[in-house]
Structure 1
Amino acid sequence: MRFDHLGATPRIHPDAVVATPAVVSGEVTIGAGCQVLHGAVITAEGGPITLGENVVVMENAVIRASAVNPVHIGSHVLVGPMASVSGAVVGDEVFLATGTRVFNGARVGDRTEVRINAVVHLRTVLPPESVVPIGWVAVGDPVQVLAPDRHEEIWAAQKDLDFLGYVFGLDRDTPDLMVQLTERYGAALARHRDDRPLD
């Protein structure tokens, strides 16, 4: 299903295939030979999304751009089932396995593998031909790739990246943090109220 969002209409190459139950919303460009499978959601929340050629977006994957962080995915990329890419740049010939998470401001270099359930954190830069092992966390610039049981080291690197400030413009010490976060984010997402279905 395609939607006009904030006055922008998806542009899908005639050689691309988008499954009927997938959602493509807003300023999205999908290149030749792309395959977007059942349940995938590609939503431009105020910033553009570009998929190069021959990108495969598997079932229930989510690709989301924001006004601050557009998404660019290069050519010959596989975005696995239930993977999530938010406001990131992904190079060519990248494999994002099932359940991976790539966060706002991240850059994933060409020919990189992010394996099952691995995380590429906020503003992290993975050089070309990197590997993030199953369930591990890549964090920072320069990047550290850490096992999930090294939480204190992950948090030490992640804290300075300031997820709440960078993504939501909020300070972690705000007394009513979740009240402000949900109200702000909810108001931004409510802009979908005026979306117009195109299919």
Structure 2
Amino acid sequence: MAIIRAHRGITPKIHPDAFIAENAVIIGDVEIGAGSSIWYGCVLRGDGNWIRIGKNTNIQDGTIVHVNHDPKGDYRETGGGMPCYIGDDVTVGHLALLHACTIESSAFIGMRSVVMDLAVVEGGAMVAAGALVTPRKRVAKGELWGGNPAKRLRELKPEDMEVFAHIGQSYVDLGAAYRAEQS
């Protein structure tokens, strides 16, 4: 059974239609939307700020999602610090690290990539496998970024967007199948 743990009086809120793998760890101020899936070995620590994951988003095996606290005090009182927002219909590949960043709806994050504090990956953008998106960078809609540090490599093609949609839907379906087997 997954570890779903309250922290400082805040318990994660997980939609009943989401799939959470048995060895995922979800702590604190985390909300996960309908049809989303959190796969094996993922850690989502909303212990210093909030994490929000929209609907039909897949966070694949071994991914870590974390936040930055507000050094002035409790973020719930100050409104400060750096949360992590992941929108709807996002694919996050295996072993990614998302730290206090924003991943807009319909973005694609490749395997073993890192997206750092206050970086934004716009909807319809892609971060390539193994890329390092440094703090405060913005990956624009329709662009593919890769490398270490990541930089714009090319414009995305319509066939890239079709692949994103196919992968996303396959994970929605796979998560539903796994959830049904858990019952």
Per-residue CA deviations over 1:135-174 (Å, capped at 9, x if unaligned) read 3423xxxxx548xxxxxxxxxxxxxxxxxxxxxxxxxxxx
User: Within the alignment, does 1:121 sit opposite 2:123 as a pair?
Assistant: no
Question: Matches of 1:52 and 1:145 in 2, distance apart?
Answer: 26
- Structure 2 unpaired stretches of 5+: 70-80, 154-183
The counterpart of 1:101, out of the listed 107, 114, 137, is 114
Alignment TM-score, normalising by the size of structure 2: 0.73
Q: Which residue of structure 1 aligns with residue 149 of structure 2?
A: 137
Per-residue CA deviations over 1:51-88 (Å, capped at 9, x if unaligned) read 00011011100000122110110111111110000000
The counterpart of 1:53, out of the listed 46, 52, 55, is 55
- Structure 1 unpaired stretches of 5+: 139-143, 147-199
Any residues of structure 2 matched to 1:146-185 within 5 Å, and which? none
Question: Matches of 2:148 and 2:123 in 1, distance apart?
Answer: 19
Q: CA deviation at 1:114?
A: 0.5
Runs of 4+ residues deviating >3 angstroms: none
Any residues of structure 2 matched to 1:23-34 within 5 Å, and which? 23-34=25-36
Q: CA deviation at 1:123?
A: 1.0
Asked if the contact 1:44/1:66 (under 8 Å) is kept, the reply is: no
Q: CA deviation at 1:7?
A: 1.5
RMSD: 1.3
Asked if the contact 1:136/1:145 (under 8 Å) is kept, the reply is: no
Question: Matches of 1:83 and 1:100 in 2, distance apart?
Answer: 5
Taking only the aligned residue pairs, the percentage that are identical comes to 30
The counterpart of 1:21, out of the listed 3, 23, 41, is 23
Structure with greater strand share of residues: 2
Q: Which residue of structure 2 aligns with residue 75 of structure 1?
A: 88
Kindly provide the amino acid, as one letter, of the partner of residue 31 in structure 2: T
Count residues with an aligned counterpart: 140
Q: Which residue of structure 1 aligns with residue 104 of structure 2?
A: 91
SS in structure 1 at match of 2:89: coil
Larger radius of gyration: 1
Kindly provide the amino acid, as one letter, of the partner of residue 92 in structure 1: S
Q: CA deviation at 1:20?
A: 1.2
The counterpart of 2:65, out of the listed 60, 63, 66, is 63
Asked if the contact 1:6/1:46 (under 8 Å) is kept, the reply is: no
Q: Which residue of structure 2 aligns with residue 11 of structure 1?
A: 13
SS in structure 2 at match of 1:26: strand
Question: Matches of 1:31 and 1:136 in 2, distance apart?
Answer: 31
Question: Matches of 1:131 and 1:102 in 2, distance apart?
Answer: 14
Kindly provide the amino acid, as one letter, of the partner of residue 12 in structure 2: P
